[in-house]
């Protein structure tokens, strides 16, 4: 019975229940709001970024179709490439929308593709390279195309499926998303197609080999800088060779021979989502406010006086304001600066209240309580992988202080 009375006195006579309810309402509402914003960022906001910047890159491998000279050009047969060498150099260019960072990147692609005439007679062939001009934000000024080392002008038109004169040696392109070259090859003649372009993408880059054709002498090297936490998309074959650096990595896929094509590629690095950090810190705030309140109650007890309702309310308000203030500041400035300003402002208010209502010595103790109730939980939310260590150090500090 005495324990129940003591708990009742703590919750109501000491104003803990009222203050804790206010803290819970503010912080849980903020956490829910941030989660809603994150869901919005994954839909409408991301579509806006894709329209303005670029989309995930899904680059199909080029294809070659042929007929014997003089045959009907509508009866095209597939011709497997003898060699494919692709080099992609990407630089991360993160796109920020409020608290959310999207993994934008600039890239330069160069590819060399070799094919030969397997027939004993001349053949007319068509080389098709899907390029998706608008989706990949390709810069036309940097688009080059060569056949056997000789530059060939690029023209873009509307329908990539229709072809012109199959005997023409000049490249034509049809469609805003495909490059088409038609020409003639003598028996045993090799043709080497070289293409290079620059573009922009978002989140991932995947090179899709034709699953219906045999793959010979394939090599793709993908180098990126500006991040390190890359991953692989579903159903994509991981790189056979990986070289890491402090600010990037180089991945290489090498296949001398495959019976059928497979997709290769990666998910580009991402920056930490500060909206998730704020949601975690807000969701845990009530428990650390409990620590702050009990510590403050001990300070009042040491001064031999009761904590009044207005003092408890100011304590709760000074603590609660930190989290919405952090969310608004982080949307307009770097997260670290926003954290220092918001948490620093809340800590300063707590210290000032202790100085005003108690004493200078109590203000020093309140500074320590602010570190334990604000700075340490925020550090644990940011360093999520080390949160256990952070809380262990906090507990050790409390035991040492006791």
DSSP letters, 198-258, are: EEEEESEEEEE--TTS-EEEEEEEEEEES----B--TTPBPPSEEEEETTEEEEEEEEEEE
Query: If pLDDT is split at 50, 70 and 90, which confidence band does 95 have?
Result: confident
Q: Which residues pair with 77 in a beta bridge?
A: 66
Please count the structural domains in the chain: 2
Mean residue pLDDT of the chain comes to 81
The token duo for 226 is 């500006």
Q: Which residue did the predictor score with more confidence, 271 or 4?
A: 271
Model pLDDT for residues 231-268, shown as the tens digit of each residue: 999 889 999 999 998 889 999 999 999 888 889 999 99
Say yes or no to pLDDT of 190 above 70.
yes
Last residue of a domain, one of 234, 267, 300: 267
pLDDT at 135: 60
Whether 258 and 327 map to the same domain: the answer is: no
Query: If pLDDT is split at 50, 70 and 90, which confidence band does 12 have?
Result: low
In a domain, 192, yes or no: yes
Last residue of a domain, one of 227, 251, 267: 267
Model pLDDT for residues 295-329, shown as the tens digit of each residue: 898 888 888 888 888 888 899 999 989 988 898 88
Whether 322 and 359 map to the same domain: the answer is: yes
Say yes or no to pLDDT of 197 above 60.
yes
In a domain, 52, yes or no: no
Question: Model-level pTM?
Answer: 0.70
Section 55-69 average pLDDT: 89
In a domain, 162, yes or no: yes
Whether 280 and 385 map to the same domain: the answer is: yes
DSSP class of residue 127? E
Instruction: Give the C-alpha separation, 357 to 340, whole Å.
Output: 25
Q: Which residue did the predictor score with more confidence, 43 or 371?
A: 371
Say yes or no to pLDDT of 175 above 70.
no
Say yes or no to pLDDT of 38 above 80.
no
Say yes or no to pLDDT of 103 above 60.
yes
**Would you say 292 and 373 are in contact if contact means Cβ atoms under 8 Å apart?**
yes
User: Between β-strands 178-185 and 241-245, what pairing exists: parallel, antiparallel or unpaired?
Assistant: unpaired
Whether 378 and 288 map to the same domain: the answer is: yes
pLDDT at 367: 92
In a domain, 50, yes or no: no
């Amino acid at each position: 019975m005495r324990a129940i009375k003591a708990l009742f006195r703590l919750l109501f006579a000491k104003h803990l229940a009222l203050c804790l309810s206010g803290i819970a309402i503010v912080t849980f509402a903020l956490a829910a709001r941030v989660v809603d914003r994150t869901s919005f960022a994954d839909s409408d906001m991301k579509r806006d970024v894709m329209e303005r910047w670029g989309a995930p890159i899904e680059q199909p491998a080029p294809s070659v179709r042929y007929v014997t000279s003089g045959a009907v050009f509508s009866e095209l047969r597939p011709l497997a490439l003898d060699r494919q060498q692709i080099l992609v150099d990407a630089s991360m260019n993160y796109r920020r929308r409020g608290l959310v960072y999207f993994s934008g990147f600039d890239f330069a692609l160069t590819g060399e593709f070799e094919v030969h005439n397997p027939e004993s007679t001349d053949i007319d062939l068509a080389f098709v390279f899907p390029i998706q001009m608008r989706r990949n934000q390709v810069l036309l000024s940097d688009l080059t195309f060569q056949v056997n080392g000789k530059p060939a002008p690029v023209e873009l038109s509307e329908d990539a499926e229709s072809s012109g004169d199959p005997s023409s040696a000049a490249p034509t392109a049809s469609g805003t998303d495909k490059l088409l070259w038609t020409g003639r090859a003598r028996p045993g003649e090799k043709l080497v197609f070289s293409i290079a372009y620059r573009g922009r993408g978002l989140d991932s880059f995947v090179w899709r080999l034709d699953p219906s054709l045999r793959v010979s002498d394939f090599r793709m090297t993908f180098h990126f800088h500006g991040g390190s936490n890359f991953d692989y998309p579903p159903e994509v074959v991981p790189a056979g060779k990986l070289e890491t650096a402090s600010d990037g990595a180089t991945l290489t896929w090498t296949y001398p021979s495959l019976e059928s094509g497979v997709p290769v590629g990666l998910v580009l690095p991402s920056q930490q989502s500060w909206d998730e950090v704020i949601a975690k810190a807000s969701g845990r705030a009530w428990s650390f406010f409990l620590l702050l309140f009990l510590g403050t109650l001990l300070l009042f007890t040491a001064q031999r006086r009761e904590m009044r309702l207005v003092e408890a309310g100011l304590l709760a308000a000074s603590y609660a304001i930190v989290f919405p203030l952090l969310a608004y500041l982080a949307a307009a400035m770097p997260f670290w600066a926003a954290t220092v300003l918001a948490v620093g402002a809340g800590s300063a208010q707590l210290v000032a209240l202790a100085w005003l209502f108690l004493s200078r010595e109590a203000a020093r103790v309140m500074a320590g309580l602010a570190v334990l109730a604000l700075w340490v939980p925020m550090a644990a939310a940011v360093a999520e992988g080390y949160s256990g260590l952070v809380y262990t150090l906090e507990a050790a500090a409390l035991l040492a202080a006791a």
